[in-house]
A and B are shown apart, each in its own frame.
Chain A
Amino acid sequence: MAAEGSGIDPMHQFLVEPVMGHRLVMQGYDISFTNSALFMVITAALLWLFMLGGMQRKLVPGRWQAAVEGMTGFVQDMMKTNVGPEGKKFVPYIFSLFMFLLFANLVGLFPLAVVPGLHPFAVTSHISLTAILAFFSFGMVLVVGFWRHGLHFFSLFVPHGTPWYIAIIVTPIELMSFLVRPFSLGLRLFVAMTAGHILLDVFASFVVQGLNAGPGIGWVVSFFSFLMIVGVSALELLVAAIQAYVFALLTSLYLNDAVNLH
């Protein structure tokens, strides 16, 4: 799949393959336990441990409890400012979403490959995961919107106080932008993580190929590529947190539309 002659295959890291080495097929469906599933389980287990250590209800929180309370407080504040007092009902969903994506992004960046034979797998670099989460959010917006407002929910597409001749143009645009939301929400996270991992893989290949080229210009290339990896890794840590935050933030804004109708 790589471009001819370069010897770099940055797409290989996204391959979903069975952990045990052979596929498990039942009724014509491939149900083998893949590396994607394994890293989702690892993410969930880490998240469970993180929450377990923090939910101690001490009056004076220790470090761990303070960390967990910091995260819950952060999500609670976000919902309060974006949705208002009614946003409290949605805090559990947004919190799970935010923490799962944050942990999945960070686990995908974990340098497991220093142990031979292992390599990390970023589950959020597949649209099959991010799109499902995005459609959860979108479905929740639809359910909440129609539950609370009935057919009045459609007034979301006509901005308040629009003259009818402008509404004819604006309503289809608003409808389109509403329908495109789950796709843009899922696509943003998936592409941001994919792009970052491709970038890291390409520079890592430069390091190895430069070293193999022997002393001289190859080692110089290797050295600067290594510096680049350090910089890009720091950037990717930032991107991992920002993308999880943006996903949760946009979900809360869409929920605000459903709860408050402009």
Chain B
Amino acid sequence: MAMMVLAARLDLTAARPLTDALLAHAGSDLTVDAGRVEHLGGLAVQALLAAAQRWRDDGCALAVWPRSAAFDDALARFGLTDAVPGQGAPAWA
């Protein structure tokens, strides 16, 4: 399973690089390490949601783990607490 680590600050500037980085792993199972995330912006969470859809469509597994407290807090604020698959979550396939 491929793995990628998210940057600490995922704001407007990170949206495109994050999308590129996720796309680079398209078609394979992927674990995204969100353990260092200090700021998760609206565009970055959108990219992660889009990846979740894409991975599901591709029949691949995607998990976001580990997650920093800031990442979880941001998800809660966005109303997406359970939206992004964590460890052990079923692949969106």
A and B: real partners? no
Interface residues of A, Cβ cutoff 8 Å to B: none
Interface residues of B, Cβ cutoff 8 Å to A: none
